[in-house]
Structure 1
Amino acid sequence: MEIIQTDPYVENLAELFSATKRTGVQNIIETNLRSEHGTVIKRPLGTARKFIDFDGLMFISSHFKNQALTHTIPVNTDVVIGPLAKKPLRVTTPLLISGMAYKRALSAKFKAAFALGSTKAGTATNTGEGAYLQQERELAQKLIVQYPRIPLHRNLTMLRDANAIEIQIAQGASAGGAQAPYPHLIRTSLPALRNTRDLPKLVSFLKKAGDGIPVGIKFSLSDHLEEEIDFCLKSGVDYLALEGAQAATVAAAPILEDDFGLPTLIGLCRAVKHLRLRKAENKVSLIISGGFNSPGQCLKALALGANAIYMGTMPLFAASHTQSLKAVPWEPPTQLAMEGGKMSKRFNWRKGAHDLGNYLNSCTEEIKEGVRALGKRALLEVNERDLVSLDEITSKITGIPLGYYKRKT
């Protein structure tokens, strides 16, 4: 300690504190990884950047106008995805588990935990773009089958057994990279999405293949959002799954995670506004994803016009729960979840399903508490008039009045 207090700065280990504070620990680590390997590094679980988000919004406490309800009053949180479909997807919570691919990302045990956990919570899980896992179908009461642009490991039976089909165009954390290496080597009897002109025919095919279940499309939020929504609406999709820049992925180049796309809040508000302009908000469902970490954030997004929330990182953490201690401190918790991870064989998927179900049920109950505090009895009653903005930028993005001015009635 005396050396740190007396040595000149250029010889002092305290220099590390100054340099680290200036550039950030993560940038130093990633610089060293680039120096070591000389190739594009792949970072798991998305960006650490702090974009503008839902923290600039607050709900309006209800006292005299609409008195808050007691905890004994039931709150309806049912959600319908694809209301105009012959067989809409119905869940009892707005929280859905987003697509995480078997083999390309997660192990079979983790996919099993997600499937059973979703059933325990009355919601749906998503296969992701990877290989189809029959156990996932057997354990999940509601399963969304993702359909990649090049439909690897998909057949008509899988589509018929699904509760919804989701065409995967792009994701928020990887700026729309290709789903599989060397796609020209893949042989499949199902139609592929090789260019935008294929989309209307593909949507029509999938609606017939699924016998009336909802057919949606997933892509990342960008400044082309309104034109892309228009094209999807003309193609006849039943729902949109839009993902912001705060989303996570198994691994992607930092430049794609940090510097592409639009933050979730901005993209959500633009999407809702455009769907209302096209008078499609009650016809085509909107699932939003990217950086949702708490029930409060989710309820704010729903108040702004989303119909449901895809969550990925938090269910990953929830299913790991205390089992992550099997990996740390010598390995990161991802080694417990990833296919081929050093600790993946030690994961107890039934306990993971139990913990995940608890997490999702807890979040849903907390959302109900928020709805009651607004003096309302159903999630569908919550809207943007229940919110105020804390700053001018958030107000301009959302159209929500500022809290430091009296709201015009």
Structure 2
Amino acid sequence: MLLSWMMMKLMDPSMDEVMAKMFTEDYKDNPFLMVTATEKLSPRAMMEAAMRAEAGKELARPLGSPVVLSPWDKLLLNPKQLFELPTSDYTQISMKTVIGPKAKKPLQLELPIMITGMSYGGSLSLPIKIALAKGATMVGTSTNTGESAVTEEERGAARFLIGQYHRGGQLSGQEQLKQLDAIEIQLGQGAWGGAVDSTMKAEDIDGHLRNTWGLKKGEDATVYARMPGKNSTQDYIKMVDDMKAQYDVPIGVKIAGTDYIEYELAVIAQTKADYIVVDGSEGGTAVANPTLQDNVGLPTFHTLVRTIDWLVKNNLRDRFSVIIAGGLTTPGHFLKALALGADAVYIGTIALLAALHTQITKALPQAPPSQMLLYTGKLTDKLHIDAAANHLANFLSSCKSEMQLAVQAVGKESIKELSRSDLVSVEKDLAEFAAIRYAGSHREERKKTEK
């Protein structure tokens, strides 16, 4: 109490001076100018300007863009009560999904929520990768290597492991690829605006990661804008088909959502791939710079609608499973994405935060929670792996139950039965674009049928 009293007494003269200055001085000499400048520029722009001024190089913003343009909150599901009845028992509603059903070894999951590609080394620490694998296994879903290689630790913890055959080359060859439950050819991602060069310096790579990636001491690791040695669209088509011929598991192609999405899909349609991952611009990452995150690509919602529409228009919907990724965070988002046509959703940032749960207090307020997650983080040794795995499993189980209740309300027996007819929008243009009903228009009266 005495200390607080003394601090207040010391602060009073300073505060009095500042308040007098703000109330009497012209703007050019008024400290309140910083408030109006912040309103004009935004706190984020000011802070990032300061970081650029300090570093003199591109920034690396973890966890993705704050710019969210997908209008998920303007879509609503349509429950049924009398003219048709809700499903009788929500616990019996099937949440199962299959990725690549025509593959020799389809990927069969207990729920359509999958852990997205977040790499050991390039993005996350090994402890959180193990926790994600364990948590996903507890609920019967998959995790993903991201732009890394298969580690014994992640493979041992994961029941279903998807591996990214990517532009850095760390995951390649029979020894790596034969360990996977699905192979995802990664040609771009939403948070990067597609595909650009990215280099991790040798001094940032420890011994375990160097061995995992097969690097020599002192050798940098680079993920390139294009697959090394691939110089034409036909080279990519052949690469996908060669992979399909060699492995029985589903083969997928991952691309970022852009306004050229139909052109990109037309190329994938020439391959024998089993599934497509489309990643909207709202996706997260560990290192992409703010310009790419905030200004390049197509929002997740628009990416998904246009992808499904193109596949349907070209009679290709049954040929490919579709996984949507990029900024999906709630069971409501997941349901709406599935109703729009996706077979499954990828989640990343929200899965990390769920896994951290109360362990976040080990970092705050002295450091951001990312320091417990990132490969370069200073607090990665503080993570309790099993606790993180359990909390992720709880999060996914909670999402499953809420989604089952919503599916019950719309009168369906399975998550696979959701369709655009179960959606309505409060915005006319949005409804027209997505080919769903506009809430401001009346339905025609139903014809009465004989009982």
CA contact (8 A) 2:143 2:162 kept: yes
Give how far 1:73 is off: 4.5
Alignment-derived partner of residue 376 in structure 1: 412
Letter paired with 2:234 = R
Alignment-derived partner of residue 206 in structure 1: 243
CA displacement, residues 186-237 of structure 1 (integer Å, 9 cap, x when unaligned): 89xxx95623222222222222332x11000111011111111111111111
Is 1:123 matched with 2:145?
A: no
Alignment-derived partner of residue 77 in structure 2: 59
TM-score by length of 2: 0.85
Letter paired with 2:158 = A
Alignment-derived partner of residue 4 in structure 2: none
Alignment-derived partner of residue 407 in structure 1: 443
Letter paired with 2:169 = P
> Cα RMSD over matched residues?
2.2
Map 1:300-339 onto structure 2 (within 5 A). Answer: 300-339=336-375
The alignment partner of 1:286 has SS state of strand
CA distance in 2, matches of 1:21, 1:179: 35
CA displacement, residues 362-385 of structure 1 (integer Å, 9 cap, x when unaligned): 111111111011111111111111
CA displacement, residues 135-179 of structure 1 (integer Å, 9 cap, x when unaligned): 111111001011003422432122112110000000001123346
- Stretches of structure 2 lacking an aligned partner (at least 5 in a row): 1-14, 201-214, 447-451
Instruction: Choose which of 11, 14, 25 in structure 2 pairs with 1:8.
Output: 25
Give how far 1:22 is off: 2.0
Give how far 1:43 is off: 1.3
CA distance in 1, matches of 2:33, 2:89: 55
Change (3 A) 1:163 1:84: same
Give how far 1:64 is off: 1.0
CA distance in 1, matches of 2:58, 2:189: 19
Alignment-derived partner of residue 226 in structure 1: 262
The alignment partner of 1:404 has SS state of coil
Letter paired with 2:239 = L
Is 1:133 matched with 2:169?
A: no
Is 1:363 matched with 2:399?
A: yes
Q: Percent sequence identity over matched residues?
A: 34
Alignment-derived partner of residue 33 in structure 1: 51
Alignment-derived partner of residue 164 in structure 2: 146
Give how far 1:185 is off: 8.8
Is 1:100 matched with 2:118?
A: yes
Which deviates the most, 71-80 or 270-279?
71-80
Instruction: Choose which of 417, 426, 429 in structure 2 pairs with 1:390.
Output: 426
Letter paired with 1:173 = A
CA distance in 2, matches of 1:330, 1:7: 37
TM-score by length of 1: 0.94
CA distance in 1, matches of 2:388, 2:91: 31
Letter paired with 2:246 = A
Alignment-derived partner of residue 210 in structure 2: none
Alignment-derived partner of residue 176 in structure 1: 194
Alignment-derived partner of residue 204 in structure 2: none
Give how far 1:17 is off: 2.5
Alignment-derived partner of residue 208 in structure 2: none
Change (3 A) 1:104 1:72: closer
Alignment-derived partner of residue 309 in structure 2: 273
Give how far 1:392 is off: 2.2
CA distance in 1, matches of 2:229, 2:419: 36
CA contact (8 A) 2:65 2:284 kept: yes
Instruction: Choose which of 274, 295, 315 in structure 2 pairs with 1:259.
Output: 295
CA distance in 1, matches of 2:196, 2:242: 22
CA distance in 2, matches of 1:14, 1:181: 42
The alignment partner of 1:258 has SS state of helix
Instruction: Choose which of 240, 243, 247 in structure 1 pairs with 2:276.
Output: 240
CA distance in 1, matches of 2:367, 2:80: 47
Instruction: Choose which of 33, 36, 52 in structure 2 pairs with 1:18.
Output: 36
Matched positions, count: 405
Change (3 A) 1:95 1:36: same
Give how far 1:77 is off: 0.7
CA distance in 1, matches of 2:24, 2:101: 70
Give how far 1:33 is off: 0.7
CA distance in 2, matches of 1:358, 1:12: 52
CA contact (8 A) 2:91 2:404 kept: no
CA displacement, residues 297-355 of structure 1 (integer Å, 9 cap, x when unaligned): 11001001011000001001011111111111111100000113110111111111111
- Stretches of structure 1 lacking an aligned partner (at least 5 in a row): none
Which deviates the most, 93-102 or 223-232?
223-232
CA contact (8 A) 1:129 1:179 kept: no
